[in-house]
Structure 1
């Protein structure tokens, strides 16, 4: 059980205001908090972030909220009230980064645009996460992760060719936009060391997805090739697929490189296969993908999965099972690297979640706390940081400002 409250991390000493909700903006805040930033999450006084209620629950508690709001402090603030807007400006004067994921123009309507924020803190980095970016003809549209995934190309290329486009089972577009937003925030902070000034980071969901699409654009524009859905394989890459085993399990084998394919053939007891002109080169194997998969599949189907994996690992062939959550929590490698960390939840007990990635050898991040109760840090932030006394806080609370 990890109860280490040490901040540490390369962003220790940096303060982040998180005004966003749901996933895209808050995931950016989560990543920054993982590496030591003091993330102050600003939530609506009435209901807070919808992620407090969305997703699977246990005993009435969200199982998503403790993860995406980890390492954060929660304060309440009505951003539609001029007094709430003034509180944000005052907090911005004490902060390094402000993260938001409202539609473009929303902050400006609240008198919280970059011009107003930079006036009180020229070094502030404003991170803006939206579906389509801050400009362009689609900027004003409502944008969710699924739409960005479709527009960025990953939906069209995901799934089986004889079925409609599929999704990955997670909010991929939102998380990618949040990840690029966090990367942009760190780049802007580094640039501030040189210039002394902040700037705006514009992270669009569709562009974050597009950034992962490899050579999709030049393949179309130069070669006239349109990538299609191909199920469990990549065209031209073989053998690299899911294969059956004698005990009904399915394993992945990725042996498409020349040297690795030779090792696979030796492990199969068929070294001559690597010299066969139909399979000798990467291109040849790709051209004969289906028949090569049948050959490999016939061999894997004759052996139980555990024995097969031991044999492949010993031969230096990349292979593995398709993990579920149960596999992850029981796996020795996950345990050895502390890939899953557990903190104490006040009602649910030991609460497991993925640990911080990537690992830094000298200044690693850590998970210090689970997602907080709504407004749990109003006194600490408004009182100790901004100097509002108890009477001021009580008045603002009574009037729905905080």
Structure 2
């Protein structure tokens, strides 16, 4: 499905954002804002630009990395060397006309460049500065380099990921970075809303480890008050049954979640064993948790009698949550993905349709949209510096000669 050329007005179309961050966490915040209409100007170092331009698998036809097309989508790109005094000066001028500035350097970097919030907010009191780091802007670990892998471990996620008889594993994506980017985007919207009341901006401090910690449910109070430390349990959650991956006749796995009393009863009926729901070992949530292994064996014995899609169809009819484990090909072929336009096709720089995830969440009257893939490095430098700052051709030539842009 191709994205419509004509889109309704978007909720952030009046917001100007300068994105200084690189890699994933800061730029994902920028992606979210850009998806909902903000003018996001990505400021990149001259030469190679953001390292994300080189990450991920390459297009079979062109050899160009593909990930940049997603995380850079809907943004404009300018080059600016922030290590030079002239580059810093230009950034201060741009920031005086911006609503939001996103950065994910180590704490203190912006201050060393003369670009701290105390400086930028003097000329623009309404500016919102979004700072994304591994460990936050203060505290004893603030100056440490913080990639998602390390911060996911500190936030508690890694300890719970995997099987109890093996070392912790990671999810196959940089989840901590994305969570920090989402929290940064949420904080941006809160700060902008507060600005409507006060006229003043503020600093949004989004750390990766705390963004992961925020997702850890009752992990901390369970230890503090019940002495319980959650442990790795593999494909299920201890005490939650049946809720697991179950093998089908055709070799595929089916995810089934039937741990609620009424849902478990419907599962038993679908399995042709309705009396199981009344057995004292399985009749309540706590009882099922205590007999988790036996229940999983009973469910697996039934799923092995059917192909995976048959299991899903039977349980969908019975009102039991169940689904297949999807890969990218399954997503592209699935009729529900297609009906929802969950994946859209966006023309790449060569005019070829490139499938990627749509914009979420969906707004009924002012939805976000994907307007174009990630821009070429410095594609909008001239337009932004002339349009925002009124620089002329001679000014731009001098900046190029001095490698500022």
Q: TM-score range by the shorter chain?
A: over 0.9
Q: Provide the rounded CA distance (Å) in 1 between the counterparts of 2:285 and 2:4.
A: 50
2:119 matches 1:140: no
Question: Deviations along 1:158-182, whole A, 9 cap, x unmatched?
Answer: 0011111000000001110011000
Q: Provide the rounded CA distance (Å) in 1 between the counterparts of 2:66 and 2:378.
A: 19
Q: Provide the rounded CA distance (Å) in 1 between the counterparts of 2:152 and 2:358.
A: 26
2:33 matches 1:32: yes
Match of 2:51 in 1: 50
Query: Per-residue deviation at 1:301?
Result: 0.5
2:387 matches 1:384: yes
Decide whether aligned partners of structure 1 residues 353 and 16 sit closer, same or farther in structure 2, where only a CA change above 3 A counts: same
Q: Provide the rounded CA distance (Å) in 2 between the counterparts of 1:364 and 1:352.
A: 19
Question: Deviations along 1:119-144, whole A, 9 cap, x unmatched?
Answer: 11000000000000000000011111
Q: Provide the rounded CA distance (Å) in 1 between the counterparts of 2:166 and 2:8.
A: 48
2:226 matches 1:223: yes
Which stretch shows the higher mean deviation, 3-12 or 29-38? 3-12
Contact 1:243 1:300 in 2 (8 A): yes
Q: Provide the rounded CA distance (Å) in 2 between the counterparts of 1:26 and 1:117.
A: 20
Secondary structure, counterpart of 2:157 in structure 1: coil
Secondary structure, counterpart of 1:156 in structure 2: helix
Q: Provide the rounded CA distance (Å) in 2 between the counterparts of 1:299 and 1:67.
A: 41
1:72 pairs, out of 50, 55, 75, with 75
Query: Per-residue deviation at 1:3?
Result: 5.6
Q: Provide the rounded CA distance (Å) in 1 between the counterparts of 2:194 and 2:174.
A: 30
Question: Deviations along 1:169-201, whole A, 9 cap, x unmatched?
Answer: 000011100110000000000000001000000
2:315 matches 1:306: no
Q: Provide the rounded CA distance (Å) in 1 between the counterparts of 2:262 and 2:31.
A: 41
Match of 1:129 in 2: 132
Extract unaligned runs of 5+ from structure 2: none
Secondary structure, counterpart of 2:234 in structure 1: coil
Q: Provide the rounded CA distance (Å) in 2 between the counterparts of 1:84 and 1:108.
A: 14
2:365 matches 1:362: yes
Contact 2:309 2:324 in 1 (8 A): no
Q: TM-score, normalised by structure 2?
A: 0.98
* Number of residue equivalences: 402
Secondary structure, counterpart of 1:155 in structure 2: helix
Q: Provide the rounded CA distance (Å) in 1 between the counterparts of 2:173 and 2:385.
A: 36
Question: Deviations along 1:318-345, whole A, 9 cap, x unmatched?
Answer: 0000000000000000000000011111
2:399 matches 1:396: yes
Decide whether aligned partners of structure 1 residues 149 and 315 sit closer, same or farther in structure 2, where only a CA change above 3 A counts: same
Secondary structure, counterpart of 2:383 in structure 1: helix
Query: Per-residue deviation at 1:296?
Result: 0.6
Listed as ranges, the matches of 1:3-402 within 5 Å are: 4=5, 6=7, 8-58=9-59, 59-347=62-350, 349-402=352-405
Query: Per-residue deviation at 1:60?
Result: 2.3
Extract unaligned runs of 5+ from structure 1: none
Contact 2:164 2:232 in 1 (8 A): yes
Query: Per-residue deviation at 1:6?
Result: 4.5
Query: Per-residue deviation at 1:346?
Result: 2.3
Decide whether aligned partners of structure 1 residues 383 and 23 sit closer, same or farther in structure 2, where only a CA change above 3 A counts: same
Contact 2:254 2:311 in 1 (8 A): no
Query: Per-residue deviation at 1:5?
Result: 6.5
RMSD between aligned residues: 1.0
Query: Per-residue deviation at 1:304?
Result: 1.6
Q: TM-score, normalised by structure 1?
A: 0.99
